Amino acid sequence: QVQLVESGGGLVQPGGPLRLACAASGSIVRIYTMGWYRQAPGKQRDLVARITSGGSTNYADSVKGRFTISRDNAKNTVYLQMNSLKPEDTAVYYCYADLVTTGGYDNRRWGQGTQVTVSS
């Protein structure tokens, strides 16, 4: 079994920071790309940021310069540092990992989602 457990969501005022974390555990042989999507009410799930095992990153245009993705390969954990948050960043944030399990399965696993609300 493989689990991705997220933490760090909550309520924050506009302009404030928030840091999300997502730890993968279980029967994992290797993790390739890890990242974050978000989904606001009534909207589709969109990519926010992703990072390869080598540290290459990609960001959605809407978060460039405000969000920073990083990972700790030894801990199988990915982080999302969010600064200068805006009300339009309000959404459920989902982490994911593209990985290989001990059973030889190569697939994408998702976290359960964590709510981020930006409001005064």
The pLDDT tens digits along the chain (120 residues) read 899 999 999 999 999 999 999 999 999 999 999 999 999 999 999 999 999 999 999 999 999 999 999 999 999 999 999 999 999 999 999 999 999 998 888 899 999 999 999 999
- pLDDT at 106 (0 to 100): 82
- pLDDT at 42 (0 to 100): 93
- pLDDT at 55 (0 to 100): 95
- pLDDT at 104 (0 to 100): 81
- pLDDT at 103 (0 to 100): 83
Distance in angstroms (rounded) separating the CA atoms of residues 81 and 98? 21
- pLDDT at 1 (0 to 100): 86
- pLDDT at 105 (0 to 100): 80
* CA angle (18 as vertex; 33, 63 as ends), nearest 5: 60
